[in-house]
Amino acid sequence: MSSPAPARPASTVLLLRDGPGGLEVFMVVRHHQIDFASGALVFPGGRVEASDLVLAGGDAQGAFRIAAIRETWEECGVLLAAPGVPPAAEGEFATMLAARGLVPDTSGLAHFAHWITPLPVPKRFDTHFFLAAAPVDQDALHDGHEAVDSVWIRPIDALAEAEAGTKKIVFPTRMNLNKLARSTSVAEAFAAARARPVVTVLPIQRDTPEGRYLRIPIEADYGGEEFLAGDPPSM
């Protein structure tokens, strides 16, 4: 029996704002030619890079936060930073920070979730999800490469579109939209995230004639412990 594929460290950002109808989250549509979650409506995010660890001062957990901020900049054009002198590191993001005299504003993030792709899946990720409040003086836009479209949307509306079949949303995104939908404002979402512990979710899959079910820890607070996946268990 072959060993499971290693789970690559990654970060995902739930960029939030208060809209006229309540809490909204920024989501992008993945390019259909990308092998991971192609064509899906997702939160911006990507792999943790070596330069993220340097900018985090060698702190492995801090590197997830740096990656979240870097990906927000690269995929959305939104910079979550504060005045300061960053450690010397390679890469366009680190160079830009140094030129502007900025450091990533990791304190502005709230740890929201931690998901690891199921063991049988050949391409796996170890993903930390973070909340971030969208700066009022910056506009979020998709990059036109990995993401071909973007939208500010209420979590409940994104879930409704997935239910109607007009949008493709993978299982972890759907579950975190459900959790986010409990909050009605940015402040409420941050308060809820900071008040509850983040429980690691490594889904265990079970195939039945009705479809694939995924079991997750009840302590992770997703309103249950076994769910019909509705899609391959990717993240």
Identify whether the C-beta of residue 29 lies closer than 8 Å to the C-beta of residue 149. Answer: yes
> What is the C-alpha separation between 186 and 193, in angstroms, rounded?
11
As a dihedral over the C-alpha atoms of residue 53, residue 57, residue 61, residue 67, rounded to 10 degrees, the angle is: -40
Return mean pLDDT, the chain: 90
In this structure, of 25-34, 55-64, 220-229, the range with the lowest mean pLDDT score is: 25-34
CA angle 151, 212, 46 (to 5 degrees): 40
Instruction: Say what the pLDDT of residue 172 is.
Output: 95
Nearest to residue 45, comparing CAs of 2, 17, 76? 76
Q: What is the pLDDT of residues 60-71, one digit of tens each?
A: 999 999 999 999
Predicted TM-score (pTM) of the model is 0.91
Q: What is the pLDDT of residues 145-192, one digit of tens each?
A: 655 678 999 999 999 999 998 888 999 999 999 999 999 999 999 999
In this structure, of 100-104, 136-140, 144-148, the range with the lowest mean pLDDT score is: 144-148
Domains within the chain, CATH numbers bracketed = 7-196 (3.90.79.10)
Please, which pLDDT band fits residue 233 given cuts at 50, 70 and 90? very low
| Whole-Å CA distances, 162 to 3, 62, 92 | 34, 33, 35
Q: What is the pLDDT of residues 10-40, one digit of tens each?
A: 999 999 999 999 999 999 986 454 444 446 8
Q: What is the pLDDT of residues 102-133, one digit of tens each?
A: 999 999 999 999 999 999 888 999 999 999 99
